Structure 1
Amino acid sequence: MLDDYGVSMGYQKAWRTREKALELARGNQDDSYQKLPIYLHTLKVSNPGTITHLVTDNKDHFKYMYLAFANSIKGWKHCRPVIVIDGTYLKTSFGGTLVTASTMDANSNIFPLVFGIGDSENDSSWLWFFTKLKETWRKRSYFIVIWQTGIAIISGRHKSIENAVENVYPKAFHGACIFHLLNNIKVNFSVRGEDLNINFVKVAKAYRVQSFEHYMNEIDKIDTRIRPYLQKIGYCTWSRCHAPTRRYTMMTSNIAESINAALKAARTLPITTMMEGLRSLVQKWVFLVNTIVYQVVVEDKGNFLVNLMEKTCECKRFQQNEIPCAHAITIFAKTRLKTYDYVVDYYKTTTMKATYESIVYPLPNESEWTLPETLNKIVLPPKSRKPPGRLRRKRIRSRGEPKVQIKCGRYPQPGHNRKTCRNEPIPKQRNPTKSKKLDK
Structure 2
Amino acid sequence: MEDHRQANCNVIGELIKSKYMSIKRVHTPHGIINDMLDDYGVSMGYQKAWRAREKALELARGNQDDSYQKLPIYLHMLKVSNPGTITHLVTDNKDHFKYMYLAFANSIKGWKHCRPVIVIDGAYLKTSFGGTLFTASTMDANNNIFPLAFGIGDSENDSSWLWFFAKLKETYGEREGMTIISDRHKSIENAIDDVYPKAFHGACIFHLLNNIKVNFGVHGEDLNLNFVKAAKAYRVQSFEHYMHEIDKIDTRIRPYLQKIGYSTWSRCHAPTRRYTMMTSNIAESINAALKATRTLPITTMMEGLRSLVQKWVWKNGNEANGTFTQVTTDIETVLRENFIRAIKFQVFPVNTILYQVVVEQKGNFLVNLMEKTCECKRFQQDEIPCAHAIAVFAKTRLKTYDYVADYYKTTTMKATYESTVHPLPNESEWTLPETLNKIVLPPKSRKQPGRPRRKRIRSRGEPKVQIKCGRCAQPGHNRKTCRNEPIPKQRNPTKSKKIDK
Go from structure 1 to structure 2 and tell me whether the alpha carbon gap of 1:355 and 1:6 turns closer, same or farther (over 3 Å shift): same
C-alpha spacing 1:101/1:291, structure 2 compared with 1 (3 Å)? farther
Q: SS in structure 2 opposite 1:4?
A: helix
CA gap 1:222/1:77 in 2 versus in 1, 3 angstroms: same
Structure 1 residues 99, 132: closer, same or farther in 2, change over 3 A?
A: same
343-352 vs 421-430, which deviates more? 421-430
1:24 corresponds, among 43, 55, 59, to: 59
| Cα offset, 1:265, TM superposition | 1.0
**Superposed CA offset, 1:314-368 (max 9, x none):** 0101100000111111222233221110000000001000000011111111111
Q: From the superposition, tell whether residues 129 and 67 of structure 1 become closer, same or farther in structure 2 (CA, over 3 Å).
A: same
Structure 2 distance, partners of 1:254, 1:317, is 22
Contact 1:84–1:102 at 8 Å: present in 2 too? yes
In 2, the alpha carbon distance for the partners of 1:232 and 1:374 equals 53
Trace 1:13-412 onto structure 2 (pairs within 5 A).
Answer: 13-138=48-173, 150-286=177-313, 302-412=363-473
Q: CA deviation at 1:105?
A: 0.2
**CA deviation digits over 1:249-287, x for unaligned, max 9?**
000000000000111111111100110111111111119
Residues of 1 paired with 2:79 and 2:351: CA distance? Answer: 22
Shift of the 123–195 alpha-carbon distance from structure 1 to 2, 3 Å rule, reads same
Separation (CA, whole Å) in 2 of partners of 1:105 and 1:4: 50
CA gap of 1:438–1:256, structure 2 versus 1, over 3 A, is farther
Distance 1:335 1:297, change over 3 A: farther
Partner deviation per Cα, 1:401-424 (whole Å, 9 max, x = no partner) = 111111122333222223333443
CA distance in 1, matches of 2:63, 2:482: 43
- Give deviations 1:63-110, integer Å, cap 9, x for gaps: 000000000000000000000000000011010000000000000000
**Cα offset for 1:430?**
2.7
1:139 deviation in Å?
A: 10
Distance, in Å, in 1 between the alignment partners of 2:184 and 2:130 is: 23
1:298–1:305 contact (8 Å) kept in structure 2: no
Is the deviation greater in 131-140 or in 289-298? 289-298
When structure 1 is superposed on structure 2, of 116-125 and 282-291 the one drifting more is 282-291
Q: Can you list the C-alpha shifts for 1:365-417, whole angstroms capped at 9, x where unaligned? A: 11111111111110000001111111111111111111111112233322222
Distance 1:241 1:291 in 2: 28
Q: Give 1:208 deviation, angstroms.
A: 0.3
How far apart, in 2, do the equivalents of 1:86 and 1:403 lie?
21
Deviation, 1:3, is: 3.6
CA distance in 2, matches of 1:291, 1:207: 26
Structure 2 unmatched runs, 5+: 1-35, 314-347
Q: In 1, are the aligned partners of 2:349 and 2:355 still within 8 Å (CA)?
A: no
Structure 1's unaligned 5+ residue stretches are 141-149
> Compared with structure 1, are the counterparts of its residues 293 and 231 closer, same or farther at alpha carbon in structure 2 (3 Å cutoff)?
closer
* Cα distance, 1:14 vs structure 2: 1.1
The 8 Å contact of residues 47 and 69 in structure 1, kept in 2 or not, is answered as yes
Mapped contact 2:358–2:365 kept (Cα < 8 A): no
Q: Is the 8 A contact 1:295 1:309 kept in 2?
A: no
d(CA) in 2 for partners of 1:288, 1:215: 32
Instruction: Identify the range of structure 1 (178-187 vs 388-397) with the bigger mean alpha-carbon deviation.
Output: 388-397
Shift of 1:12: 1.4
CA contact (8 A) 1:62 1:381 kept: yes
Distance 1:369 1:156 in 2: 40
Q: Could you tell me whether the CA contact under 8 Å between 2:355 and 2:367 is conserved in 1? A: no
Deviation at 1:309, TM superposition (A): 1.5
* Structure 1 residues 289 and 433: CA distance shift in structure 2, 3 A: farther
| Residues 90 and 379 (structure 1), Cα distance of their counterparts in 2 relative to 1, 3 Å cut | same
Does the CA contact (< 8 Å) of 1:62 and 1:382 recur in 2?
Answer: yes
The Cα shift of 1:300 comes to: 14
Q: Is the Cα contact below 8 Å between 2:350 and 2:356 reproduced in 1?
A: no
Query: What is the count of residue pairs matched by the alignment?
Result: 431
More displaced, 1-10 or 295-304? 295-304
Cα drift, residue 301 of structure 1: 9.8
Asked if structure 1 preserves the Cα contact closer than 8 Å seen for 2:357 and 2:388, the reply is: no
- Cα distance change of structure 1 residues 348 and 295 upon mapping to structure 2, 3 Å threshold: farther
Query: CA offsets per residue over residues 206-264 of structure 1, 9 Å max, x none?
Result: 00000000000000000000000000000000000000000000000000000001111
Give the secondary-structure state (helix, strand or coil) at the position aligned to 1:66.
Answer: strand
Q: Which of the pair has more CA radius of gyration?
A: 2
Deviation string, structure 1 residues 300-319 (Cα, Å, up to 9, x no partner): 99511111221101010110
**How far apart are the structure 2 equivalents of 1:290 and 1:314?**
16
Displacement of 1:295 in angstroms is 16
Provide Cα deviations, 1:179-209, integer angstroms capped at 9, x if missing partner.
0000000000000100000000000000000
Q: 1:109 to 1:134 in 2, by over 3 A?
A: same
State how far apart, in whole Å, the 1-side matches of 2:301 and 2:354 are: 32
Q: Which structure is higher in RCO with an 8 Å CA cutoff and minimum separation 6?
A: 1
Contact 2:355 2:366 in 1 (8 A): no
- TM-score scaled by length of structure 2: 0.82
Paired residues of 1:297 and 1:307 also in contact (CA < 8 A)? no
Q: Which has the larger displacement, 112-121 or 390-399?
A: 390-399
Question: Taking structure 1 as the reference length, what is the TM-score of the superposition?
Answer: 0.93
